[in-house]
Amino acid sequence: MAATAVSAMQIMNASHSIYSSRGLLATNASVLVLTSRESVRNMLSSVSSISSTRHFPVRSSSSSSRFSKSITRAMSGETDKGPSTGLPIDLRGKRAFIAGVADDNGYGWAIAKALAAAGAEILVGTWVPALNIFETNLRRGKFDESRLLPNGSLMEIAKVYPLDAVYDTPEDVPEDVKTNKRYSSASKWTVMETAECVKEDFGSIDILVHSLANGPEVTKPLLETSRNGYLAAISASSYSFVSLLQRFLPIMNPGGASISLTYIASERIIPGYGGGMSSAKAALESDTRVLAFEAGRKGKIRVNTISAGPLGSRAAKAIGFIEKMIDYSYANAPLQKELRADEVGNAAAFLVSPLASAITGSVVYVDNGLNTMGLAIDSPSLSL
């Protein structure tokens, strides 16, 4: 199974000055009735002058010149200069489990990083065959540059768990998988066992992220896809989300949130994205709506999915033409720029935060607007 994987704004003072002036004028209306016009002018001038010097504090990192990409700021409610007056994404005191992190260049990693920047404690589940190399690279500092947060610190991962979300319980694991050397060195890696281990280690979580997808026959047209290949894609890419939420829901704190990652092939034809993967993404989106109702009623948990645009991650390269998909998106999306993983991470941080407390059962598009297009503007047909 392959793992797929707000910057702070300085607000202009003009409107704030006007608002402050009007507010003070209104509160002093009774005493201004008998005041001369000249006095009023002087007072307003003074208020305007005072208001216009009040800036919303902005914290900058010494590493900002090295990393110009927009990353969710860790908003602690305070800055070095005093209380923050912005609207924060504050996940301090929250714990997140991100299933499907096996390297530092996919959406899963970007989401983990955004949640960490917002203050969340990070746990990850890594595909068992990739576990050793991932932990080795993490330990040796090969991900340190990627771990850098906006405040200059490094993202800390509290614990890495082995996970293969294709298997719900130990009884579901075939003998040939149990004895496979890629699995033999790890233990307790089924969905049920992983949830139990997280409960034993940490007690509860607040955020569950599903960043998993695999289609062994993804390069095959649907008409050439075998039953086993089709069902494998459904199992790894969509039912795995059901299984994860089913097992983790009992240890999720009320008011928590869960998100997954989908793709526009669920509703549009993407030739080459085969092997049942388009069906798996459609199932994932349908399940998101049903799970939003069930988990909402049962545990007060919100469930959403992000329909992300193409990213040249290692996992996505299995499709075989990911670079062409990125080029197509750049040429035809309303926002003509390459989609960055951290933009998906930022959206995820918002969706699992209290700022999105009334959003559930939704497919949220983070694709530079490509999903809105009905015509490829770079088509040769348009030049005729």
Query: Is 273 assigned a catalytic role?
Result: yes
Query: Is 107 assigned a catalytic role?
Result: no
**Residue 162 one-letter amino acid:** P
For the chain, strand residue ranges (E) read 2-3, 78-79, 82-83, 95-99, 121-127, 157-163, 205-210, 212-213, 252-262, 302-308, 363-366
Closest of 306, 322, 202 to residue 264, by C-alpha: 306
Closest of 204, 206, 284, 299 to residue 246, by C-alpha: 299
The C-alpha R_g of the chain, in whole angstroms, comes to 25
Alpha-carbon gap, residue 256 to 97, rounded angstroms: 12
Of 239, 273, 328, 330, the catalytic one is 273
Alpha-carbon gap, residue 216 to 212, rounded angstroms: 13
| Look-up of token digits 């941080």 | 349
Alpha-carbon gap, residue 109 to 189, rounded angstroms: 20
Of 230, 239, 263, 330, the catalytic one is 263
DSSP-derived secondary structure letter, 154: B
Residues labelled as active-site residues: 263, 273
